[in-house]
Amino acid sequence: MTKEKTTQSAFEIAKERYAAIGVDVDQALAAMKKISLSLHCWQADDVTGFENQDAALSGGIQVTGNYPGRARNIEELRADILKATSYIAGSHRLSLHEIYGDFQGKVVDRDEVEPAHFQSWMEWAKANGMKLDFNSTSFSHPKSGDLTLANPDKGIRDFWIEHTKRCRWISEEMGKFQHDPCMMNLWVHDGSKEVPANRLKYRRILEQSLDEIFATEYKNMKDCIEAKLFGIGLESYTVGSYDFYLGYGAKKGKIVTLDTGHFHLTESVADKVSSLLLFTPEIMLHVSRPIRWDSDHVVIMNDDLADLTREIIRCDALDRVHIGLDYFDATINRIGAYVIGCRATQKAFLQALLEPAALLEQYETEGKYFERLALQEEAKSLPWNAVFDMYCLQNDVPVGEDFIAGIQAYEREVTSKR
């Protein structure tokens, strides 16, 4: 029996099994088609960008590993991204940091960047059926230091304000071009290795900088503000903490970005979703996997991811939650890292869509908590994998582990020769 027939046969059995507990598998597959992931361009080149290939990564972040084959220019980066998406079912987006502009070998400082530097990206994305999202870049720059938008030095602060204003302008033009809002994420690493004399001082400056940045209203982009727990070398104090951005987002109607690596490891990011949905317009996700600290490991199917995707589906919030990935692993094949993380995220969403929600709600309403817990546990071992295999088959991407051979071949023929 061919793999296609085996997949079809297993799918039919799974469909019957799910129908027995009131789950419509076809409806779940239809919902999966609406889920677009925003792939992070920086996985392909270790957050190097195209400003200065020799510049060291700084600003409270780092990439570990030195696996051969890193993308060295815009052509290689684009080729690697397309290779990765060929193994990921569905239509997806691409998230760019400002340092990935098409600068044509010219020196363009961060306060000089314009939409023209991303025109070729817009055209490339359109030609390849993708939409673009965007990020301002505060790290790896001579003026980064420990403080950018929260810097008391007006000259440095104004430099980063201008940079961020221009990034919003670029995002607006991207949104216009693609006829779909561009999600513009703002994250700065600002903080201190030791506790400062006055925490409020820097947060007040950051608030004022943000107010100036957001003074211009746009229609084709959406502002997202991202918190962080700490940065390397800035462990004791983070100006843009979660509490800061939650308050700012709720007060000013901005989208709060939840990066799953930017919280204490015992915190449940899933538990934050329902609260944010009540008080902020939408949510931006950066799905990552922290190990002891924000180490940005490749996303895998673990309990944290499953809890997060279940919560989104239970809240019926797919139209209000934007799903981006954010990790950078240079210890393994970079294209493989893309595919593993994206497929893991898709699997988690599919499992959530296949949850017997109606029956669980009924048990809860009737006070049947034993039955509710029992069904939640049984649902974990239902044949969701057969449904995911069919999802891949329907989207003409490799079923199961078949993508491994293709990535190995690309490494032999392309990336190993760089």
Which of 92, 163, 286, 347 is labelled catalytic?
Answer: 286
Question: Where is the domain boundary, 316, 336, 353?
Answer: 353
140 torsion bin: left (phi>0), alpha (psi -120 to 50), beta (else): left
Burial 50-62 (b: 16+ CB within 10 A, else e): bbeeeeeebbbbb
51 vs 159 pLDDT, higher one: 159
The answer to whether residue 54 scores a pLDDT higher than 70 is no
The answer to whether residue 90 scores a pLDDT higher than 90 is yes
Which of 42, 121, 160, 187 is labelled catalytic?
Answer: 187
**Are 240 and 382 in the same domain?**
no
**Are 112 and 143 in the same domain?**
yes
Which of 173, 259, 355, 389 is labelled catalytic?
Answer: 259
**Are 144 and 16 in the same domain?**
no
Which of 80, 190, 294, 355 is labelled catalytic?
Answer: 294
346 pLDDT band (50/70/90 cuts)? Answer: very high
Is 228 tagged catalytic?
Answer: yes
Least confident of 61-65, 119-123, 234-238: 61-65
Is 158 tagged catalytic?
Answer: no
Range 273-280 average pLDDT:
96
Range 18-25 average pLDDT:
97
Establish if 102 belongs to a structural domain.
Answer: yes
The CATH number for 308's domain is 3.20.20.150
Is 389 tagged catalytic?
Answer: no
Establish if 256 belongs to a structural domain.
Answer: yes
* Residue 30, C-beta contacts closer than 8 angstroms, at least 6 positions apart: none
31 pLDDT band (50/70/90 cuts)? Answer: very high
The answer to whether residue 59 scores a pLDDT higher than 70 is no
**Are 134 and 70 in the same domain?**
yes
Establish if 184 belongs to a structural domain.
Answer: yes
* Residue 16, C-beta contacts closer than 8 angstroms, at least 6 positions apart: none
Which of 45, 46, 190, 296 is labelled catalytic?
Answer: 296
**Are 150 and 197 in the same domain?**
yes
Establish if 28 belongs to a structural domain.
Answer: no
Question: Where is the domain boundary, 328, 353, 378?
Answer: 353
Domain that holds residue 233: 34-353
Q: How many alpha carbons lie under 13 Å from residue 216 in its C-beta half-sphere?
A: 15
65 vs 187 pLDDT, higher one: 187
Which of 45, 326, 389, 411 is labelled catalytic?
Answer: 326
**Are 268 and 415 in the same domain?**
no
Q: How many alpha carbons lie under 13 Å from residue 197 in its C-beta half-sphere?
A: 0
**Are 377 and 344 in the same domain?**
no
Q: What is the mean pLDDT of the chain?
A: 95
Is 226 tagged catalytic?
Answer: yes
**Are 309 and 410 in the same domain?**
no
Is 259 tagged catalytic?
Answer: yes
Range 172-181 average pLDDT:
98
Is 366 tagged catalytic?
Answer: no
**Are 11 and 151 in the same domain?**
no
**Are 260 and 375 in the same domain?**
no
Residue 237 in 3-state DSSP?
strand
Establish if 29 belongs to a structural domain.
Answer: no
Q: What is the pTM of this model?
A: 0.95
Which of 228, 254, 272, 297 is labelled catalytic?
Answer: 228
Least confident of 51-55, 106-110, 230-234, 263-267: 51-55
Which of 131, 163, 262, 322 is labelled catalytic?
Answer: 262
**Are 133 and 11 in the same domain?**
no
Q: How far is CA 281 from CA 20, 257, 276, 413, in A?
A: 37, 12, 8, 46
Is 294 tagged catalytic?
Answer: yes
Q: Count of domains in the chain?
A: 2
Question: Where is the domain boundary, 353, 388, 404?
Answer: 353
The answer to whether residue 107 scores a pLDDT higher than 60 is yes
Establish if 412 belongs to a structural domain.
Answer: yes
Alpha-carbon gap, residue 281 to 329, rounded angstroms:
32
Establish if 264 belongs to a structural domain.
Answer: yes
pLDDT computed for residue 56 by the predictor: 66
Using a pLDDT cut of 70, give the percent of the chain over it: 97
Which of 46, 207, 223, 226 is labelled catalytic?
Answer: 226
**Are 349 and 360 in the same domain?**
no
Establish if 127 belongs to a structural domain.
Answer: yes
Q: How far is CA 68 from CA 52, 53, 122, in A?
A: 19, 16, 29
Is 319 tagged catalytic?
Answer: no
Q: Which of 281, 161, 160, 169 is nearest to 217 (CA)?
A: 169
